[in-house]
Amino acid sequence: MLGEPTRDRRAERREATKVEILDAAWAIAREEGLAALSLRDVARRVGMQAPSLYGYFDSKMAIYDAMYAQGAQQFVDAERWDEMTGDARHDIRLIIHTVVEFCTADTARYQLLFQRTIPGFEPSPEAFAVSVDELDRLAAHLATCGLTEPGDIDLFTALGTGLTDQQISNDPGGDRWIRLIDDAVDMFVDHIEKRNAARTVRSTRTARSTRTRRKAG
């Protein structure tokens, strides 16, 4: 009879300690700001000496990187793909609401994921891969909503971050700019639909003109 698989209790304890360290780092970032994070303060909160942290993270930047990976995964988990319908206006509203509400719910996390708050910090390829995969999936869906130009995506991201920044800066904890999301999306979608319709008309006229010339020739 085969025995039960042996648990690696040492690895489990190590992973639990890493989680505890990251929880402490997030608590400091939310209370005092991302830039206020120090190894000494993190170590004190988890009841160890600062040099002991190097057994889990080799630098403060490594802690930021692990925090980034956590935040990126939380963003992925927050996406409401099961509520997408394929209707451009509905889906873009849903995406912008999700983005703005996710970002305004945790300012420290928003700053780490979407702003360059920490001088010299760049997420590792492994941590950034989570964001890249989600953004690729998002871009593919937005293309089905008519956002086919690079500038469309730029304007889309500016819409989300602009509303987020205004909400955080001018009405923290409120909903003054969150309440404007649907109106802003309507203007955006109207612009995209009008442009795409005009392109279709031009393309149709060009095709007809080409067929006429061929017949005449």
Give the 3-state secondary structure of residue 102: helix
Rg (CA), the chain: 24
Closest CA to 55 of 88, 98, 18, 103: 18
Q: Is 100 exposed, middle or buried (0-12, 13-18, 19+ CB in 10 A)?
A: buried
Which token pair is 211? Answer: 């067929």
CA 28 to chain centre: 22
pLDDT-based confidence at 1, cuts 50/70/90?
very low
pLDDT at position 33 over 90 = yes
Residue 132 to residue 158: CA distance in whole angstroms: 18
Tokens 């964001």 sit on residue: 131
Q: What angle do CA 106, 76, 86 make, to 5 degrees?
A: 115
pTM of the full predicted structure?
Answer: 0.85
Which token pair is 111? Answer: 């700053």
CB 213 within 8 A of CB 188: no
What is the chain's mean pLDDT, rounded?
91
Residue 50 to residue 46: CA distance in whole angstroms: 10
Instruction: Supply the pLDDT for residue 68.
Output: 97
| Plot region of 173 (φ>0 → left; ψ -120 to 50 → alpha; else → beta) | left
pLDDT at position 106 over 60 = yes
Which token pair is 137? Answer: 């999936």
The residue type of 34 is L
CB 100 within 8 A of CB 167: yes
Lowest-pLDDT range, 16-20, 53-57, 201-205? 201-205
